[in-house]
Structure formats: structure tokens, C-alpha cells
Amino acid sequence: MSAIELQHVSKRYGKVQALNDVSLKVGQGELFGLIGPDGAGKTSLFRIMATLLLADEGQIKVDGFDVVKQYRDIRKRIGYMPGKFSLYQDLTVEENLHFFADLFGTTFEEGYEIVKPIYSQIEPFRKRKAGALSGGMKQKLALSCALIHEPSVLFLDEPTTGVDPVSRKELWEMLEMLKERHITIVAATPYLDEIRRFERIAYLDQGNLRDIDTPENILTQYADVFNPTGLNRQESQSQKPSVEDNEVIRVSHLVKAFGSFRAVDDISFTVHRGEIFGFLGANGAGKTTAMRILTGLSKPTSGQGSVAGFDIRHASEQIKRHIGYMSQRFSLYEDMTVAQNIELFGGIYGMKRGEIYRKMDGMLKHIQFEDHRNTMVKSLPLGWKQKLAFSVSIFHDPDVVFLDEPTGGVDPATRKQFWQLIYDASKRGITVFVTTHYMDEAEYCDRISIMVDGKIRAMDSPQALKQAYQCETMDDVFTLLARQATREE
């Protein structure tokens, strides 16, 4: 018996055909995946199935109910986690759960049994505001809220984006438990290891349903999309600066404390000019706090450091003028064109108008955006936006560019293109300081540090770390170290 049936579903936004004649069935109790590049139509399909968006054409049934005529019945039977964190940041963990229970006409006590395996991991923090939780904890809370009314169908739109590898594994273990309760689960993910966990997957591309099959068959048939060949970055050792004068970042015994809690606990390291330095750690390990200090946004409690030759304690404004920064949340202006964003940020970085215009043509050609100079940024696919944001962050040729999970939620082929831009920046002598939760990207770095409980537990090249810990992949190294953490937040 089918839990979900779609027949000839289409959806258009102006000139954009988001979904084009999509038909598929999902079996009751099936773990089913929706995969595809950015802009494929996955989120539109989720919103239609969750009765939050009307299709232009076609028929959709969820749990036997029509999404148009019987949407109220469907909303009682489904749980939905959208791509963006959907809970109330200013409410506590406990208050969010009680609110969603009330919303579905039940109580927290009645729904506790189904959420217990998940909620028990965040229950010690039930009085903490949701906005103050780490990425992994937020997703566990969101999943608990989506399950509190015991739904028969669960929709998850990239639930693990921005979540560290260990928390991702834990979340999927929870989904396996939910499947044992015969809950139908439809999820989207850009991670290859998660794609392989589905029973079947539907591959969407530019609004069209290309294929439905097992993960193995889809990943084999469309390997160029989902598993593109790795990047080749060949440099001689003589090209890698190692003398002290080329140390663009220096950190010595850095500490950042909040009361008695040491978010960053006595870390020391250096980063060379032109180096791609991976700064890894589980959610809550202290990475973001350390990056805020290095980018001049926060002061250390103790310790010393410099970025581009400027002291992190006393020269934060000079640091800001010599670095680029790209956050995990897209940082450009959506209601401006590509060219207007470049011109604006070039001015903010202190570039003269003539210089901005001279460099803009070369930049647009390099990222193949010549035809999109006057395109509104909000109309670009996520992967394109991220490539643009990175290019803008290095437009003024900074000494260092800080990238905070720049490829979160981006499909594999676009991530490969993004990393080619990183390699190009490195060749120009720009130091790249990057955090990522994709362990295949960790393999692309020259060196990696891994933080656990506010300390740097390991630091070396990817190959050296795998040899030292006798692991086959960086994912194995990361998991081994991250699971040694003793603090949960």
C-alpha cells in the first residue's frame, strides 16, 4: 500500500518551472529519498506534500488523503522538518516541545514515548533556549517536535545540513528506529553516505523526475552528478612556504572563557601564506568561538595571536581590512543584482570605483557569471550564490579568507566547482581557513586541526592523520576523536 501518491504534479514560479509532471509512489513504512542538484525542485515538492503550497497541476495523496480537499486531516498525520531551523529560538527546549504538542492537540506526556530515544539526549538542556543549542542539538530538538504527535509520515528536508559527522550518524540511527515503528520517511540530503541509507530514491533535476531506483543504481548511472571525480591539486613542496615570515596566522595559548566554561581552551597553531587550513570539530567544540577571535569579532580571555601581522587584541579593525569572510549563512544582498553586490562590497573593502569595475569583468568570467551580471541574487540557485559569495569575499585580494561551512547543503558537483575556486585563491597566495562537515573536503586541505572540548586534539596533513590513527578515511579519524568528547555542549 502506498503512503504517498503523486500524479503529474507541476509547479511554476513565474518563468521558472520548479516541478514538471512529477509522478511517484512511496510505500507505507518506506525510507525514501529525494535527491538532486540545487534548484531541482525538492523543497517545492516537500512543501506541496506537507500542504503548505498548492501545485498548479496534478493530484497528491498523503496517507490516503487529498492534499487540497483534506489538508486538515493530513496535517494531523505528518511531521515536517524544513531545511531551515523551524523552531522558536527564544523558547527553551522544553517550551518548544510543549508548544508543538499543544499545536497538534496532544500533550508532551502523551508523545514522550516516541520522542524519548531522541529527547533523552537533549533533556539535560531542557531549560536552555533553542537558539543557544549547537547544530546537532537543534536538529534533535526539531525532530522531537516533528514527532511529538506520533505522525505516520515524516518529511525531512536536508535535516543534517550544517551538522557534524558524528551527530549526523546519531540522527540516522534515530531514523532507523522510527522506521521500525513503520513510520514512512521521505528525506532529502546532499551527503552520499546518507543517500546510500535509503531503500529507494527519486532523482530530480531542474524540476523533472529523471529516475526512481535503488541508491546504488542511481549513484552508478549518474556518477558524474553525485560522485564527480576528485580534484587534482599538484604542487611541489618548494611552492609551500614554511619560513616564519610567511606565517599569516599565529596563535599561542589562546583561551576564551564564559564564566567557568572554556569554549576555547589553550590552543596554539600557525598557518602559512597560501595554505588551505581545515579547522574541524564537532558542533560545540569551540571552532566558531575561535574564528570570531581571529576575525576581530571577539577578544580572547588570555593568550596571544596575530592575523596578517596584526594583533588580535589591539588591532581588530586592521585585521578586518586584510581578511575576507564567508559565513555558513549566505551573506550577500538578495534584492540586489550580482554586479550591485560586487560594487557594494568592493566599496566596503576600500576599493576605488575604477578598480572595482576593472576587476569585476575578470571575476565574472572566472566564475562563468558573465550572463548574470544583472541577475537578482535571490533568483540564483544556492550553489551559485555560494560561489558568488566566495568570489566577493576575496575580491579585494585579502591575506586570509575565513570560510565557515561554505558548502553546507550544496550538491557534490557544485562543491567540486567551489573547491576549484579555493585552489585558485590559494595559488594566488591567499590563505584559506575553512571549517567543514564534509570529510571528503577535509581531504582537500593541506593541513587539518581537529578540536575536541575546546582543545586541538590533532593537527597534521590528512594523510599523516590517517596513518597516525590507523584509519582509512578522514571521516573515521574525525569520528574516533569526536567521540572522545566529555562535554556535550
Arithmetic mean of pLDDT, 148-162: 90
Nearest to 86 by CA among 50, 45, 124: 50
Amino acid at residue number 201:
I
Q: Are 265 and 319 in contact (CB under 8 A)?
A: no
Q: Are 307 and 323 in contact (CB under 8 A)?
A: yes
Q: Please check the confidence at residue 487 and state whether its pLDDT lies above 90.
A: no
- Residue 231's pLDDT is what? 63
- Between residues 85 and 366, the one the model is more confident about: 366
Arithmetic mean of pLDDT, 328-333: 75
Q: What percent of the chain has pLDDT over 70?
A: 95
State the cell numbers at 411. Answer: 550538491
Integer Cα distance of 85 and 40 in angstroms: 21
Residue 178 is inside which H or E element, if any?
Answer: helix 165-180
State the cell numbers at 12. Answer: 511554476
Q: Please check the confidence at residue 343 and state whether its pLDDT lies above 90.
A: yes
* pLDDT tens, residue by residue, 379-429: 887 788 888 999 999 999 999 999 988 887 777 888 888 899 999 999 999
Integer Cα distance of 214 and 221 in angstroms: 11
Q: Please check the confidence at residue 348 and state whether its pLDDT lies above 70.
A: yes
User: Residue 104 gets which letter from DSSP?
Assistant: T
Residue 134 pLDDT class (50, 70, 90 cuts): confident
| 3-state class (DSSP) for residue 387 | helix
Parallel, antiparallel, or unpaired: how do β-strands 78-81 and 184-188 relate? unpaired
Arithmetic mean of pLDDT, 295-302: 93
Q: Are 156 and 140 in contact (CB under 8 A)?
A: no
The mean pLDDT value of the chain amounts to: 89
User: Residue 368 gets which letter from DSSP?
Assistant: T
- Residue 241's pLDDT is what? 44
- Residue 245's pLDDT is what? 53
Displacement of CA 434 from its chain's centroid (Å): 13
- Residue 229's pLDDT is what? 67
Rg (CA), the chain: 23
- Residue 59's pLDDT is what? 96
* pLDDT tens, residue by residue, 36-90: 987 889 999 999 999 999 999 999 999 999 999 999 999 999 999 987 767 888 9
Cross-strand pairs, 449: 279, 459
* pLDDT tens, residue by residue, 432-459: 999 988 888 999 999 999 999 999 999 9
Give me the residue label for grid cell 567544540. 285
Integer Cα distance of 371 and 43 in angstroms: 26
Give me the residue label for grid cell 550572463. 371
